[in-house]
Structure 1
Amino acid sequence: MFKMFKKKESDYNVYSPVDGEAMLLEEVNDQVFSTKMMGEGVGFKLKSGEVCSPCDGKITLIAPTKHAFGIEADNGMEILVHIGLDTVELGGKGFEVLQQPGTRVTKGTAIIRVDLAFMEANNVDLITPMIVTNAIPFALEDNVIGNEVSKGETLIIHKEK
């Protein structure tokens, strides 16, 4: 009877929030992320203008400057997706918020749209870290680092074995 309350391994799966290339967090050119001050995670070289939910859950935060969002996953993970480096300096320009805090979303739901032409014209580094901000143990999926990933489709994080 109590098996219905037990989480399956697949409940811990977290997918890519973007189309792009996955990279180690230590390679992100920002010490806040590369030294893992905010938590463990992975970076992405953003290649399309849509940033999506990496899992099923509830949006807990949209930064006032629209460059980041937080989500509380149904599996208990608290995840921060930070679009670009130093993008807080843009004051929200180049970003369009598609979902609001408190909204329930599923993996692959578009959260923020990025104006890639604006970013390129302003020489913005669009490396996008995804951080697990609470201390839930997890593992990176084998063979994702250095490879192309697809938003909502490529498995990035799974339950630590």
Structure 2
Amino acid sequence: MSQSPGPFDSVPGRRITAWVIDAALLLVLSWLVWGGAALLAMLTLGFAGGLLLLPWALLLPILYGTLSIASPLSATPGQAVMGLAVRSEVDGAAPSLGQAFTATTLYALSWMAGGMPLLAALFSSRHRTLHDLFSDTLVVRSAYLEKARNPRGLAAEDG
């Protein structure tokens, strides 16, 4: 008889693999955005050239993360592939748009700080990074959510 995995089992490794998947998707997406902006600038004889000046390297990942986490999936595509979901710490529900934006923006700032705030996950029993803490979110295994009917179950699991 095997015990089913808990909500936080193997989350760090899954998050790292999810990041690689999301980074690859963002790379392709950024090529499409830059290429589209450049094409539009050429077709409008430079009038739409201002689009090339936008800080896409910061805006695109924040939009990608925020809209993905705030979607009904409650995860980025990489997280979904790796069987992860983001939940509100307070009630275990899907995160709000504000929580998704806060988590994603602080995540981007964590990388700007050399990734050091991400190391907090190594010292947390629920593998939470600083952007998780400040946005009141948890990253859990999706399989656990399917089995758990009580949304307070996530808040109670603090092993």
- Per the normalisation by structure 1, the TM-score is 0.31
- Structure with bigger strand share is 1
Q: 1 or 2, which has the higher helix percentage?
A: 2
**TM-score where L is the length of structure 2:** 0.32
Determine which structure has greater relative contact order: mean sequence separation of CA pairs < 8 Å that are 6+ residues apart, divided by chain length: 1
Greater C-alpha Rg? 2
